Amino acid sequence: MLSSAEIIHNASMAGIGIPAFNVPYLPMIEPVICAVVDEDSFALVEVARLEWIKFESKSPAAVMEEFSRWSQPEYVRLHLDHIPVIDEDNQPVDYRAIIREGIALGYHSVMVDGSRLDLEGNIEATRQVVELAHAAGIACEAELGAVLGHEAGPPPDYKELFESGLGFTDVQEAERFVRETGCDWLSVAIGNVHGAVSGALKDEKKVEARLDLDHLGRLRQATGVPLVLHGGSGVKREYLLAAIKEGVAKVNIGTEIRQVYESISRASGSLLAAQEGVYERTAWLIREYFGLAGTREVVAGGLVEGPK
């Protein structure tokens, strides 16, 4: 059975973007996995620290326990997403302890987010986590640049953000970052934004983001590793598909399925109805938005030879 690193490598070689579905509520895990299996595709299920701090996924252990109940390793793997060195509230986090816990629990890949540090600090923190992950035989994702949206307060004007390139990943820094850290996948900022997670803003429709594809192409050439698009919800499909062709091999999806779960739960009070809504939206995303129905064998069937 292929590792997550090998599967993302295959996706990169095949020009496929693997969806990675965030699960801020434990009952979302079953319908997400069922949708992936029914569409004969491959995806990651993932949980970020803020999803057990600010939502109801409880803990890395609780997510692993629920994932293990429904696990279909030929179709899905579990990723520990966004473990920040400094969190969205500007508080320091014991990130190494959380990463070690995730590794001990059996997560198939991990992510350290040192993007709120300066470049030198981000390189050092990421290098340490890469060593932990690689010693356990799993892949490590990192982030360079500022994918905004999780911070408290109103978000910046999107048009101004995009036109100014605010927070975009610097190409020269990215080349050095990957070389010195040894990270397997790199989350980049090219106009993508996270969905809001604080207060009333978390229920609002997410901005329809654009992507700077030329900048993405330069990052791909400079880094030579599979790139990751965080904040995939709300990105125009034409931009998403073009970004995948330019080297994005993993696309995080959170708001798109979280809001479905929350809105149906509030309106109906029915857990089953909320789960059905998540299943239907996940299946639609795989089939219509990503166009990945029937592609599992391409990425998970065997290792594709060639440079990463």
The predicted structure's pLDDT at residue 44: 98
- Residue scoring higher pLDDT (207 or 57): 57
Q: State the chain's mean pLDDT as an integer.
A: 91
* Per-residue pLDDT at 197 exceeds 50: no
CA distance 240 to 232: 8
Query: Which of 38, 81, 89, 203 is an active site residue?
Result: 81
CA distance 146 to 135: 28
Look up residue 92 and give its DSSP letter.
B
The predicted structure's pLDDT at residue 179: 98
Residue pair 174/200 in contact (Cβ under 8 Å)? The answer is: no
The predicted structure's pLDDT at residue 234: 79
> Band of the pLDDT at 284, cuts 50, 70, 90?
very high
> Band of the pLDDT at 283, cuts 50, 70, 90?
very high
Q: Is 7 exposed, middle or buried (0-12, 13-18, 19+ CB in 10 A)?
A: buried
Q: Is 233 exposed, middle or buried (0-12, 13-18, 19+ CB in 10 A)?
A: buried
The predicted structure's pLDDT at residue 166: 67
Average pLDDT over residues 174-186: 98
Buried b (16+ CB within 10 A) or exposed e, 29-45: bbbbbbbbbebebbbbb
Cα–Cα distance list, 253 to 11, 43, 159, 198 (Å)? 17, 11, 22, 17
The predicted structure's pLDDT at residue 208: 67
CA distance 281 to 278: 5
157 is catalytic: no
The predicted structure's pLDDT at residue 231: 86
pLDDT in tens, 231-269: 888 788 999 999 999 999 999 999 999 999 999 999 999
> Band of the pLDDT at 270, cuts 50, 70, 90?
very high
> Band of the pLDDT at 306, cuts 50, 70, 90?
low
Q: Which CATH superfamily is domain 4-300 in?
A: Aldolase class I (3.20.20.70)
pLDDT in tens, 36-94: 999 999 999 999 999 999 999 999 999 999 999 999 999 999 999 999 999 988 999 99
Helix, strand or coil for residue 48?
strand
* Structural tokens at position 142: 């990192």
- Residue scoring higher pLDDT (157 or 141): 141
Q: Is 24 exposed, middle or buried (0-12, 13-18, 19+ CB in 10 A)?
A: buried
CA distance 104 to 89: 27
- Residue scoring higher pLDDT (191 or 247): 247
> Band of the pLDDT at 107, cuts 50, 70, 90?
very high
pLDDT in tens, 109-132: 999 999 999 999 999 999 999 999
